[in-house]
């Protein structure tokens, strides 16, 4: 394996090109007429990322001229379906037995991590928020993403003389999530006080292990 100095160098030297990038403004149409012009004649391109990474009209020109010998994609546009050297394949990578097994294992591990340690990962509506567990008492709080929520939560803890050792706060849209590690034990009465703060959606105690 050898790292290319840049995209143009990679394209000029490659016999096979595969795309593995997300579709964002910076990558939309990343392969167009200017890029096809510097490729080796007879290059083969595999695009299993997103169809809009490649400019269809420019690709058809490159196929007709022989610059691109074949194009494989699971995002075939209608204009490409009748092209002789285009190989459309089903977009079913996530439905293989291996992928289904891996997804089930991943979901189980992440749910276990949330229930046991309060960490959130790959949630649909909550921000990713993960903090290494050091065996201390942990409080997790979900709340509306509005000003002074953290201040109100920490004020409740301070009133009960609870010392915060470490804390993480993440937000996404209108929701926020907090992981708070503290010294000593915390009573359910304190968690009830936190839950009563306006804007708190949930509060949960994870006793130290």
pLDDT of residue 99: 87
Return the CATH number at 42: 3.40.50.720
Three-state SS for 108?
helix
What number is the average pLDDT over the span 34-44? 97
Confidence (pLDDT) at 82: 87
Distance CA 14, CA 159 (A): 65
pLDDT digits (tens, 9 = 90+) for 45-83: 999 999 999 999 999 999 999 999 999 999 888 888 889
45 and 106 within one domain: no
- Is the domain of 101 the same as that of 179? yes
Tell which of 76, 91, 106 closes a domain. Answer: 91
Claim to verify: residue 70 and residue 106 sit in the same structural domain: no
Give pLDDT, residue 32: 96
| pLDDT > 80? residue 94 | no
CATH number at 132 reads 3.30.70.260
- One domain for residues 77 and 43: yes
Asked if residues 72 and 47 have their Cβ atoms less than 8 Å apart, the reply is yes
Q: Helices 149-159 and 188-195 sit at what angle, rounded to 10 degrees?
A: 150
Q: What pLDDT digit, counting tens, does each position of 195-209 carry? A: 999 999 999 999 998
> In the predicted model, what is the mean pLDDT of residues 92-107?
87
123 and 71 housed in the same domain: no
Q: Residue 55 belongs to what H/E stretch? A: none
Position with higher pLDDT, 187 vs 92: 187
For 169, the token pair is 């706060």
Q: Which two tokens stand for residue 158?
A: 């301070």
Domain count along the chain:
2
111, pLDDT greater than 80: yes
> What is the average per-residue pLDDT within 149-154?
97
| Residue 206: both structure tokens together | 């994870």
| Residue that finishes a domain, picked among 91, 125, 151 | 91
Residues 200 and 108 in one domain: yes
138 and 72 together in one domain:
no
4 — pLDDT class (breaks 50, 70, 90): confident
Q: 166 and 127 in one domain?
A: yes
Last residue of a domain, one of 37, 65, 91: 91
Range list of H helices, the chain: 7-13, 33-36, 56-65, 97-117, 149-159, 188-195
Q: What is the pLDDT of residue 33?
A: 96
Is the same domain home to 113 and 182?
yes
Q: Could you tell me if residue 2 is inside a domain?
A: no
Model pLDDT for residues 171-186, shown as the tens digit of each residue: 999 999 999 999 999 9
Quick one: pLDDT at residue 119? Answer: 98
Within a domain: residue 1? no
- What is the biggest distance separating any 2 CA atoms in the chain, rounded to whole angstroms? 76
Both 50 and 110 in one domain: the answer is no
**Co-location of 73 and 108 in the same domain:** no
Mean pLDDT over each residue of the chain, to the nearest integer:
94
Burial class of residue 101 (count of CB atoms within 10 Å of its CB; 0-12, 13-18, 19+): exposed
Does one domain contain both 76 and 151? Answer: no
Q: Could you list the residue range(s) of the whole structural domain that residue 125 is in?
A: 97-206
């Amino acid at each position: 394996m050898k790292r290319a100095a840049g995209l143009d160098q990679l394209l000029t030297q490659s016999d096979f090109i595969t795309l593995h990038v997300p579709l964002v403004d910076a990558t939309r149409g990343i392969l167009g007429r200017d890029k096809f012009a510097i490729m080796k004649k007879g290059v083969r391109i595999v695009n299993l990322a997103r169809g809009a990474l490649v400019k269809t009209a420019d690709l058809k020109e490159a196929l007709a001229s022989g610059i691109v010998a074949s194009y494989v994609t699971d995002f075939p546009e209608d204009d490409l379906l009748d092209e002789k050297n285009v190989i459309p394949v089903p977009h079913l990578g996530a439905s293989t037995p291996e992928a289904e097994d891996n997804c089930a294992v991943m979901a189980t591990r992440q749910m276990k991590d949330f229930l046991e340690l309060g960490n959130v990962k790959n949630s649909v509506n909550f921000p990713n928020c993960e903090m290494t567990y050091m065996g201390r008492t942990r409080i997790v709080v979900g709340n509306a993403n509005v000003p002074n929520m953290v201040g109100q939560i920490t004020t409740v803890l301070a009133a009960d003389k609870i010392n915060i050792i470490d804390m993480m706060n993440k937000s996404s849209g209108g929701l926020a999530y907090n992981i708070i590690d503290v010294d000593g034990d915390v009573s359910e009465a304190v968690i009830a006080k936190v839950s009563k703060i306006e804007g708190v959606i949930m509060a949960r105690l994870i006793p130290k292990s």
